[in-house]
Every structure is written in structure tokens, then in C-alpha cells.
Amino acid sequence: MGKGGGCVPSKKRSPLGESDHDEPNPVIDGSVQIEGQSPSTDARVPLQDGALQAVETNLRVFIVFYSMYGHVESLARRMKRGIDGIDGVEGVLYRVPETLSPEVLDQMKVPPKGDEVPVISAEQLVEADGLLFGFPTRYGCMSAQMKAFFDSTGQLWKEQKLAGVPAGFFVSTGTQGGGQETTAWTAITQLAHHGMLYVPIGYTFGAWNV
């Protein structure tokens, strides 16, 4: 794109159907790879009658949460409703693994979890186009279960597999002074080390009626 000159052919790219060696673009199973397109949207575009046909796929936002008594899970389901209401975007619910034994959970009167929401592994995070992490607070920080899950992402950090992925948090506390803001604040370091992009909700919901 030149300054005021409109679109011009790239000096590094050959016209469609040609290469630097006058060979046709590689075709695999009747499709071509379109440069610059995300694998989650239009990674493969089939050729029909010489025309490119767009393939529409939803962007997927993984909603990864820990919920002991169900409060954060309720928030997670509300998050999914909001995400699913956006055209072209799908919310997918996942739990992080539990670290407490069944005996301890029973003594704490924690209700059993169903199989409707699967447990996620660290390796599955790379499949998401965006991430939302939800967890309760523990003395102004995330719960130990969520921290243990982040601690299991070392290989992803080493390979920078999550760099550039947008991510955000939602939290729940039992009291007004339970640490809502400090919990999200102290969790940002997890995203920063991975190179993820922290996206806060911000004050974009309109003016207050007073």
C-alpha cells in the first residue's frame, strides 16, 4: 500500500498462479493456502470453477475456570452467553483440574461436579483464539487450583505458544472487600510471561444513571 497510491503488487509475491520459478501455487486436496489468513478462519479455501470459495468458521474463546461451590461457574456460563451472542464467535467452557482430594472436598461440603464441562489440559490452550480465565479469590490472589494450572504451562511458555493471544479474567469473592481487583491484578503476571495480551472489560458499558 503506497502513500495515496492505492494498492500495488507486492515486490515479494508473485501473481496468483505463478511463483518465482514459474510453477503453479501448491494445491493440496483441491485447496490452496491463502497467505496472511488465520488458520482458525480461512486456512484452506477450496477451488471451484477457478474461483476462491470462502470457508466460514467461528473464532473460539475458551472460558477456563475453577469453581468450588458453583459461583464462578455461574459467571462462566454468563460469559459464554455473551460470547455466543457475537456473530462468528463461540464460547467453549472448560474446568481446570482439581487439586484437593475427594475426602477434603467432602469435608468442605463441596458439591460434586458433572461431566458436562470437560477438564482442560495445558496443551489445549493453543487451540483457542482467545482466553477467559475465571476463578475465586484466595486472600487477594487466584485460587491454588488455577495457579497450579498456570504452573503446568511451562512448556507452552518455553515455546511461546500463547504469545499474542488475547486473554482476560473474571473473578468472584464472598465479601465486598474480598480482593476482586487485586486478584485480577496479581494474575496479570501469568499472561505477561506468556506474551498474551491482557484485555480488560474497562468502562465501556455506558454512563451510570444517578
Q: Residue 195: what are its φ and ψ, rounded to 5°? A: 80, 15
Q: For the residues 85-104, what does the mean pLDDT come to?
A: 97
Chain segment 42-82, per-residue pLDDT in tens: 444 455 555 555 556 789 999 999 999 999 999 999 999 99
0.75 cut: is pTM over it? no
Q: What percent of the chain has pLDDT over 90?
A: 60
Q: What percent of the chain has pLDDT over 70?
A: 69
Domain boundaries, the chain: 11-57, 59-198
- Determine contact, residues 65/76, Cβ cutoff 8 Å: yes
Judge whether residue 205 has pLDDT over 90: no
DSSP, collapsed to helix, strand or coil, labels residue 197 as strand
Q: Write down the pLDDT at residue 50.
A: 54
End-to-end C-alpha distance for the chain, whole angstroms: 49
Quote the CA–CA distance of 22 and 2 in Å, as a whole number. 27
Chain segment 138-185, per-residue pLDDT in tens: 998 999 999 999 999 999 999 999 999 999 999 998 887 778 889 999
With residue 60 as reference, give the H or E element that holds it. Answer: strand 59-65
- Determine contact, residues 129/61, Cβ cutoff 8 Å: yes
Chain segment 175-195, per-residue pLDDT in tens: 877 788 899 999 999 999 999
CA dihedral (193, 194, 199, 201) positive or negative: negative
Chain segment 112-123, per-residue pLDDT in tens: 998 999 999 999
At 208, the pLDDT band (50, 70, 90 cuts) reads low
Q: Write down the pLDDT at residue 204.
A: 65
* Topology classification of domain 59-198: Rossmann fold (3.40.50)
Q: Write down the pLDDT at residue 29.
A: 40
Quote the CA–CA distance of 117 and 205 in Å, as a whole number. 29
- Burial class, 189, CB count within 10 angstroms (exposed 0-12 / middle 13-18 / buried 19+): exposed
Judge whether residue 96 has pLDDT over 80: yes
